[in-house]
């Protein structure tokens, strides 16, 4: 089971991994309403390294990027849920709109993002940071039918008008 770490603890853990010659994979996101699409993605990201760190957008960052009705689940709960997954070794919450500073602080060996991003037309800002020190950047397949937005839409359709 993973741990929710402060930035300082995450940096110390990263140094332990580096000293042991272990490869760190890193991804980031909101992970609001955790679902099987998230699990598939995180398992695939973990397979790219010896350890997986998830940078979690905090509540303020999620509101700024997703709107005032988000997140549905508070950051402390999202962090605990992620850390409880077997494929996640560590979770670090960040409050900025991007995880660029966290990527720069941890210097993971592999930066991972979903296939809705790419290096041609929709470049994640963290990828530029990762490439600057020589990290590998990987994009995993995106399954639109397994998104939080799709899940929310299904819930709203099912319960619209008070139907149970």
Full set of structural domains in the chain with CATH: 3-162 (3.40.50.620)
**What is the reported pTM?**
0.92
Specify the 3-state DSSP secondary structure of 87.
coil
Which pLDDT tens digit goes with each residue over 152-161?
A: 888 888 888 6
In whole angstroms, how far apart are CA 12 and each of 5, 105, 126?
Answer: 10, 10, 21
Which pLDDT tens digit goes with each residue over 119-134?
A: 888 899 999 999 999 9
Query: Using CA of residue 129, residue 4, residue 70, residue 151, what is the dihedral sign?
Result: positive
Work out whether strand 51-57 and strand 90-94 pair parallel, antiparallel, or are unpaired: parallel
User: What is the model's pLDDT at position 153?
Assistant: 82
Residue 18 has a CB neighbour count (10 Å cut-off) of 14
User: What is the model's pLDDT at position 125?
Assistant: 95
Work out whether strand 24-29 and strand 3-4 pair parallel, antiparallel, or are unpaired: unpaired
Q: What is the mean pLDDT of residues 129-143?
A: 93
Specify the 3-state DSSP secondary structure of 91.
strand
Which residue in this structure is represented by tokens 């992620």?
82
User: What is the model's pLDDT at position 146?
Assistant: 72
Which pLDDT tens digit goes with each residue over 53-106?
A: 999 999 999 999 999 999 999 999 999 999 999 999 999 999 999 999 999 999
Per DSSP, 162 falls in state: G
CA distance 81 to 61: 18
User: What is the model's pLDDT at position 34?
Assistant: 93
Specify the 3-state DSSP secondary structure of 16.
helix
Q: What is the mean pLDDT of residues 16-38?
A: 96
Residue 113 has a CB neighbour count (10 Å cut-off) of 25
């Amino acid at each position: 089971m993973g741990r929710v770490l402060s930035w300082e603890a995450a940096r110390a853990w990263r140094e332990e991994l580096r000293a042991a010659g272990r490869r760190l994979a890193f991804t980031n996101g909101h992970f609001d309403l955790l679902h099987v699409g998230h699990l598939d993605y995180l398992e695939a990201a973990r397979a790219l390294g010896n350890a997986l760190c998830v940078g979690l957008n905090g509540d303020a960052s999620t509101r700024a990027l997703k709107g005032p009705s988000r997140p549905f689940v508070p950051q402390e709960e999202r962090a605990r849920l992620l850390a409880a997954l077997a494929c996640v070794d560590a979770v670090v919450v960040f409050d900025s709109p991007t995880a660029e500073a966290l990527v720069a602080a941890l210097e993971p060996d592999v930066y991972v993002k979903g296939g809705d991003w790419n290096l041609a037309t929709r470049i994640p800002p963290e990828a530029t940071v990762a490439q600057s020190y020589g990290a590998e950047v990987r994009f995993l397949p995106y399954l639109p039918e397994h998104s939080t937005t799709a899940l929310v839409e299904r819930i709203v359709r099912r319960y619209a008008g008070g139907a149970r």
